Amino acid sequence: MTMAENKASENKVALVTGAGQGIGRGIALKLASDGFDIAVVDLPFQEEKAAGVVSEIEALGRKAIFVGADVSKKDDIVAAVDRAAAELGSFDVIVNNAGIAQVKPFEEITEEELNKIFAINVNSVVWGIQAAAAKFTELGKKGRIISAASIASVKGFPILGAYSASKFAVRGLTQVASQELAPKGITVNAYAPGIVGTGMWDEIDKRLSEINGKPIGQNLKENVESISLGRIETPEDVAGVVSFFAGPNAAYVTGQTLLVDGGMLYS
């Protein structure tokens, strides 16, 4: 094979955390349709769902593997990045998507809850950025780092206090890491969805009902009514923005958190 043929046959690899369901699944499928081979990362108990996502990616003609990992643990993320690069043959993009919500009046937030949400939503982003930057440097790549923020990274939402704080942190980490990694040609950005119809909002709606007594579905309905474009957001709406950040048209974009919320907040 000539050097030109070898270069043309180089594959691109993206690792997506929390890709067993919801927004992460949507991102994994979109990046696969963009031509990436995908490491589908999720908690071990999600293996069956993740295997379904792996099959969907393979049906798009790309390679995929499932990697069981807890993103709050640095060693798990480093091992996941190593496996993705070793088994899929490259490493170009990390999407730090996995996250949890907590619905709790401010005065009732416990130390244990605060530590848990920061470990999963914030520490994971630090570990993901560090692990990806190290792998890009090892491979001589100008990679892309993309993380999940939220409308709650721009405006604090009542009853989502710890969650809002964790997402403000993701926006801050994105700004700092983008400046430190820019000399290596690595870009760091974040996406900020609004109200996306996933398991996370089913849980938020249920918990809000318990707190304010509204019927199941009512809190979700009222939030969706505040969206200018008049419909709930889908994982595919979010995936389009991630595809942009991962693709050639975003080569000169870094340090940004892009609202993709159908018109809820305005920067």
Ligand X SMILES: NC(=O)C1=CN([C@@H]2O[C@H](COP(=O)(O)OP(=O)(O)OC[C@H]3O[C@@H](n4cnc5c(N)ncnc54)[C@H](O)[C@@H]3O)[C@@H](O)[C@H]2O)C=CC1
Write out the catalytic residue numbers. 163
3-state secondary structure of 95: strand
Binding track over 69-88 against ligand BUO, x by CB under 6 A = --------------------
Quick one: which segment of 31-39, 82-90, 106-114, 144-152 binds ligand BUO (CB under 6 A)? 144-152
Asked if residue 195 binds ligand BUO (CB under 6 A), the reply is: yes
21 binds, among ligand BUO, ligand X, none (CB under 5 to 8 A by kind): ligand X
Give the 3-state secondary structure of 26-79.
Answer: HHHHHHHHCCEEEEEEECHHHHHHHHHHHHHHHHCCCCEEEEECCCCCHHHHHH
Q: Which is nearer to ligand X, 135 or 167 (CB)?
A: 167
Q: Which is nearer to ligand X, 26 or 141 (CB)?
A: 26
From its phi and psi, is residue 255 left (phi > 0), alpha (psi between -120 and 50) or beta?
left
Q: Which residues bind ligand X (CB under 6 A)?
A: 17-18, 20-24, 42-43, 46, 69-72, 97-100, 120, 148, 150, 193, 195-196, 198-201
Asked if residue 151 binds ligand BUO (CB under 6 A), the reply is: yes
Asked if residue 40 binds ligand BUO (CB under 6 A), the reply is: no
User: In degrees, to the nearest 5, what angle opens at C-alpha 18 toward C-alphas 100 and 156?
Assistant: 30
Smallest separation (angstroms) from ligand BUO to the CB of 153: 8
Round to whole Å and give the CA distance between 37 and 44: 20
Under 8 Å between Cβ of 14 and 38: yes
153-156 long-range contacts (CB < 8 A, ≥24 apart) are 153/190, 153/192, 153/257, 154/192, 154/257, 154/259, 154/265, 154/267, 155/265
Tell me the backbone φ, ψ of residue 13, rounded to 5 degrees. Answer: -125, 135
Question: What residue type is 238 in one-letter code?
Answer: V
Q: Which is nearer to ligand BUO, 22 or 128 (CB)?
A: 22
Smallest separation (angstroms) from ligand X to the CB of 14: 16
Asked if residue 98 binds ligand BUO (CB under 6 A), the reply is: no
Q: Which is nearer to ligand BUO, 122 or 151 (CB)?
A: 151
Q: Which of 38, 152, 188, 220 binds ligand BUO (CB under 6 A)?
A: 152
Smallest separation (angstroms) from ligand BUO to the CB of 255: 21
β-strands 187-193, 144-148: how paired? parallel
